[in-house]
Structure 1
Amino acid sequence: MGKVSDLFSLKDKVVIITGGAAGIGIWMVEALADMGAKIVAVGRGKHGSLEELINKIKQEYNVDIIGVKCDVGIEDEVKNLVKTAIETFDHVDILINNAGITWGSPSEKMNLSDWDKVIKTNLTGAFLVSREVGAHMIERKSGVILNISSVWSLFGAEWGAVGYACSKAGLNGLTRQLAIEWAKHNIRVNALALSFFPSGMSNFFIDNFGKVLKKGTPLKRIGEKEDIQGMVIAMVSDCSRYVTGQVVVIDGGMTTKMGVL
């Protein structure tokens, strides 16, 4: 029997992470690099963010990492992404579907085009990347997929986020369905439902409703970088090799309490 600490190792594991060049995606890339993974960081390449990330990770962690520009909602771009990853690293061990957008609007005022944008990225995008990577993993009879969901998939709130909430609820359904279908191929599929963390899309809520969020959270604080990093590593490594089809909540206990938001 090996050391328990070895279960956390991702040394030489090849990981595709979408939405890897911004927000919490950067935190995940840093954690993956720290554990020795080979990384395919995916982003839309806005403002040189992808190139900056690649240079930073190479310099700080000395790992193999490439950046691929891809809109996960466009089928041909997704196919090219997976093709590039396999050509570069021979195979893919782990997929993290983290790409996501939101659009704040009351339900009765939300344009169909805005709804479509959110669903296309958050749900259709995750399906497309999972489908392409999943076919490869089925051939290899091994793989791990982690979908980044949200507590918005578990409860409603007065703040307008209908497209986001529905897309993440759909992502939870995708997680369970793929876990059932692909278990026979030794592929695990899980999701993390995150609450509010100080980056990207959550900054507005933290800046404007931070006191309310803390009050409604049993641990009485906003989530921190390390709270995500540790769980991501646990979920994609052999630490959770007997876990599949689960939506694991990281929220400081928020969803256990009634009347949070």
Structure 2
Amino acid sequence: MSLLRVDRLVKRYGGLTATDHFCLEVAPGELHAIIGPNGAGKSTLIGLLAGESKADEGTIHFGGRDITSMSIEQRAHTGLARSYQITSVFPEFTALENVALAFQALQGHSFRFWRAAANDTALIEPARAVLARVGLARRMQVPAAALAHGEHRQLELAMALAGEPRLLLLDEPMAGMSQAESEQMTQLLADLKGEHAMVLVEHDMDAVFALADRITVLVSGRAIACGTAEAIRCNADVRDAYLGDETRNEMTGATE
């Protein structure tokens, strides 16, 4: 049985169809990557899955439930979380305080009680564990504003994991990272595979091919191919959907 099933999802913005009768199935524990050229509709799709915007047509089922009309908060309580969206990061708070707040918020409490959260063992201990899980054990007491870009993304992932999601929606988690940071994030996501299903939108083809169990290729809001990394790598139609020799070389592994 699929954990996530998307059936003929449509999103229009005036005369533009950003998501065009899109279908997707994600199995429990699967890491499913969504790739495509700029403007293909990838971020729009993530927003629809997360509940940030409403589809004009189609349905979304998660864990056997129809969540098409559910809010972001309702979807979070079913076990679906978008990294970098669960809550805002407070730059003046430490990494530990931010994750404790995420735990508190997911329990239905207001952020105005942050002082209590910072001293609540029931929040601090699981926050420590999640930060260690994402590689920030030594940076817990550092204010979020002082974290490096890659560390900030690790913190945002930790905050999403606070809800113990069954499915993580990851929208370009490697964006703006150095090669070393990207490799670290790739390893972190590899370690999380199996514990959480993931839908990953990412331009880093090395990361995609290293991580994905299956890949769906999105062009102009439509899925033109879906399969294993090897099948997608060898698909001529997929390569033709990407403009420029540099991207084609990334897809094929070729060099000049």
- Range into which the TM-score falls when normalised by the shorter chain: 0.3 to 0.5
Higher helix share: 1
| Structure with max Cα Rg | 2
State the TM-score, normalized to the length of structure 1: 0.35
**Whose RCO is larger (CA < 8 A, sep 6+)?**
2
